[in-house]
A and B are shown apart, each in its own frame.
Chain A
């Protein structure tokens, strides 16, 4: 089952009344959507509110989603419209669709993170998370590091990775899982997993 099909399966679960399935989609796409909205709504706290609003609007509109496009493509449009409406409601000029296209909201330069007008605590946290993941990556055995880099950075499928690394697909699956777990073990102490953060 491909990524789009997996999203569609989740959407169908939500459409059948399973709210928690929607949480998995929110977790998956929240940063991508927040990154997009942050380009329109500069204030981080406001961008977060708008992102939440976009997810709520998308939830309400889900009965009409038929899977003609990918879930994120559909969510992207809702995110842009929500941000534009928010700007207009707050007396600010919303960018035209041409301006937005020219800016190419899907692409975000490497320096954008540093230009964010964010609180020092959040910037520090972002830096700590990034450093931890990168340090854990560097300490991985070569075959695990290569496997997860080919998957996450290059976006290759398991089959393509298996061909490149000259090993069975089952081995690729196992290596990527072990790499993720090794990184997650280092990351978890930084993350708030208290009962109030669960859903």
Chain B
């Protein structure tokens, strides 16, 4: 096991071997001593100084009185999993926005009926308009505001103005 410990010290142990190594070290005090010895050798060779010190027992003694720290570990998901979730979220978002937009619009049948109702005044009204030349000029002047020119999306807000035969 010390050979694996040596590789772990260098960050060269295979990823799948690491959890087993940590578990073994937790249970085996002599392996933790070896970890300390290898670290000391490293510190000597790298001239880290203060070689006579080992404050680990002191720190660990004080930690006995400390509450155990617990933090939610960030769940590491593989890249494809993350991408898939992002894609699903995007598609759902587009679908919701699209559905909301379509739900607010009248159906094509309703639209064409409304268009007919607005663009084509009833024959009686036409006749009345023809019959009242003083209104014809007014209606021609306001033709640009006639709702039949831009029905899309605003049909529910349409207010029409038309001349009634004999009306004020």
Contact = CB atoms under 8 A, between A and B. Distances in A.
Contacts of A125: 51-52
B26 interface: yes
B59 A34 contact: no
Given A1-B13, A17-B68, A188 B63 contact: no
Nearest to A58: B59
A30 B53 contact: yes
Contacts, number: 202
Contacts of B54: 27, 30, 197
B7 to A, nearest CB: 6
Interface of A: 1-6, 9-10, 12-24, 26-28, 30-32, 34-35, 38, 44, 48, 51-52, 55-56, 59-60, 62-67, 108, 110, 112-113, 116, 121-123, 125-126, 129-130, 133-134, 137, 148-149, 151-153, 157-158, 173-174, 176-177, 180-181, 183-184, 187-188, 191, 193, 196-199
Interface of B: 2-3, 6-8, 10-15, 18-19, 22, 25-26, 29, 32-63, 66, 68-71, 73-74
26 contacts: A6-B13, A16-B71, A17-B69, A19-B68, A23-B60, A24-B35, A27-B35, A30-B56, A30-B59, A51-B55, A56-B63, A59-B66, A59-B69, A60-B66, A63-B69, A122-B52, A126-B49, A126-B51, A126-B52, A129-B44, A133-B41, A174-B3, A180-B41, A198-B32, A199-B57, A199-B61
